[in-house]
Amino acid sequence: MDDIYHVKNCTCGCADAQQPSDRRSFIKQASALGLGLAFGTKVASGVTQDPHALNNIKKSEVVKSGKAQHFTLLHTSDIHAQLDVHDEFFLENGQPVYKKRGGMASLKTMIQTLKAENPLNTLVIDGGDCFQGGGVAALSQGKAIVPLMNNIGYDLMLPGNWEVVYGKDMMMRDLGAYTGAKICANMFHDTQDESKGDMIFPPYWTTRVAGVKIGFIGYNDPLTPKRQSPAYSHGIQFTDPSVNAAKYVKILRDYEQCAMVFMVTHMGLAQQVDLANKPYVDGVDYILGADTHERVRKPIEGKYSKVTEPGAFGSFVAKLDIVVENGIVKEHHYNLMDVDPEMYQPDAEMLSLVEAAKAPYRKELNTVIGSSKTTLVRYYVMETPMDNLITDALMWKLKPDIALSNGFRFCPPLVPDPKTKLATITNDYLWSMLPVNSEAKWAQITGAQLKQWLEKELENVFAKDPTKRFGGWVVRFKGMEVNFTADKPKGERVNWIKIKGKKMEPTKLYSVIACDREGDPVDTLCRIEKVQNPKLLGINLHDIMREYLKKFSPVSPKVEGRIHCTDKPIDLLSQLEGYDYEFV
């Protein structure tokens, strides 16, 4: 029995003079199939790379013969300002295993090593959510992260949904300081001046590698203003890819005459796989996805495009090798690789830059605020030890009927030290757990409102239409138990609710605590609308956590059955179903 819980038993083409419709048919015919390539807490080390997959490109007959070239795309995303080596979650034989991964210095060494294998024809791409998610990033509003990314040498960057967290102006300043190209085809200025309606970033980027021209189109999540505090996106209009994707595919394929077209997206795996099945992406070879921190180890085949996603926290790099012969794409080789600090020794220059970035905040961020006997982890779609800790603290301090925590996905795990049996919690780790230090807000709602709200939240996670799914997981809570069926229709998923052990009463008023979302109406709390008697409490979530940890450390949060799903396992790790994909 563990300390968490126990569960029972190508397109490809070359420049030619054909008409567009004929050309797409030719592209498809000419494309060669690529090579897609109960919980117990353990701590392990080792390399998970498949040596056969790593050597595929070297074994290519046309490459060995000198008849062909190849280009390489290295893709990261959702680094979330995780600067140091950290604990990372894996599944091995159905059991959680934790290994040391990531760190900007090891990431740089790895990318340099991989680039050296194909130095003239390697591009490095980041899919967003980089300069938010850790203490240094939050306290510098992302500025301290920019020199680190520039030092790695990214060629192309996409803004993610969290890039808006410091407001539009700061987002533009931080992204503007990146030396790599920036693209996004669905973010527009929404201002009362001459820039209204203009794109904030260029929609696409082209370059030549291995003797061919390739193009990239960028898309951020159009649901960003709803998923997060509305104030973060003030002055920005988001549109759905359906508005202009076909136009840019046509430009890149027919006018720019790109041999391959890639979409770099930050929309979540379910939405990206749905996108790969839309006719308007016909002509896109790969959707290089991000946002839900999924680890796609074999490209997922949609009707019109393949989809990949490279995990999170700088723990992984997705490597895509494309073999080109006489301007024709011949082979695809893909591998998701661990950023293993034992295999890739930390780069000295990057270590120095990381220390410089930390320097102004070192004392505050290194301050120890508590400890845990159990592993803090947040990878599960439903209940997690980490969010149980947060809602435990809210309940203790403010004593509502129900305490809520948003369904955040990010924050790497924190595993107890094998010697002390304790995991040390610092202010820096607190910023990873709670990336926005919001003020606590109190309100009252009826039982009927609570059920209606839960139905909406479950729809955000399990909607049949993938475009309706938010990037976060199920909202977390203390003070109630919920039983639901994920595959029931919208509005009919909740089977029963108990509050403090008693059946929920539709007309009864219940007090609720959650974080205030900047820009929400006064009578909205955690996306619950028309709440009664709302009031800000003058205390923020970080201070509540510090008080709780000071009083109760070492804590030992566990999954304890606050939520029950009748048709999904409690250890569900992904929203995506119906495809050859498993989160491991």
Query: Is the Cβ–Cβ distance between 63 and 56 less than 8 Å?
Result: no
Q: Is 425 helix (H, G, I), strand (E, B) or coil?
A: strand
CATH code of the domain in which 471 resides: 3.90.780.10
Over the stretch 298-319, which tens digit does the pLDDT of each residue have? Answer: 999 999 999 999 999 999 999 9
**One domain for residues 296 and 381:** no
* Short-list 215, 185, 178, CA closest to 200: 185
Q: Where are the beta strands (DSSP E) in 116-228?
A: 122-126, 156-157, 181-182, 187-189, 204-209, 212-220
Q: Which helix (H) or strand (E) holds 86?
A: strand 86-92
Tokens of 491: 């509005």
Q: Could you tell me where the DSSP H helices lie in 372-469?
A: 385-398, 427-433, 447-462
Q: Which two tokens stand for residue 23?
A: 């050309």
Q: What is the CATH number of the domain that holds 158?
A: 3.60.21.10
Q: What are phi and psi of 353, to 5 degrees?
A: -65, -40
The structural domain count of the chain equals 2
Q: What angle, 0 to 180 degrees and rounded to 10, lies between the N-to-C axes of helices 348-358 and 104-116?
A: 150
Q: What is the dihedral of CA 246, 252, 253, 256, to 10 degrees?
A: 150
Domain-located, residue 361? no
Same domain for 167 and 28? yes
Nearest to 477 by CA among 340, 567, 344, 383: 383
Within 13 Å of residue 357, how many CA atoms lie on the same side as its CB? 30
User: What pLDDT sits at residue 53?
Assistant: 45
385 and 253 within one domain: no
Map tokens 């605590």 to a residue.
513
Helices (H) and strands (E) in the chain, counts: 16, 28
341 and 407 belong to one structural domain? no
Residue 359 lies in a domain: no
In terms of DSSP H, where are the helices of 133-241?
135-140, 146-152, 168-176, 224-227
Q: Which of 297, 325, 353 is the last residue of a domain?
A: 353
Structural domain for 65, as ranges: 20-353
Q: Label the pairing between strands 204-209 and 187-189.
A: unpaired
Q: Taking the chain (584 residues) in consecutive chunks of 10 residues, what is each chunk's mean pLDDT?
A: 35 34 38 30 37 57 75 98 98 94 98 97 97 95 98 98 96 97 98 94 97 97 91 97 98 97 96 97 98 96 98 98 91 96 98 98 98 97 96 98 89 97 98 95 98 96 88 91 97 98 98 95 95 98 98 97 96 89 91
Q: Which residues pair with 288 in a beta bridge?
A: 264, 308
Single pTM value for the model: 0.90
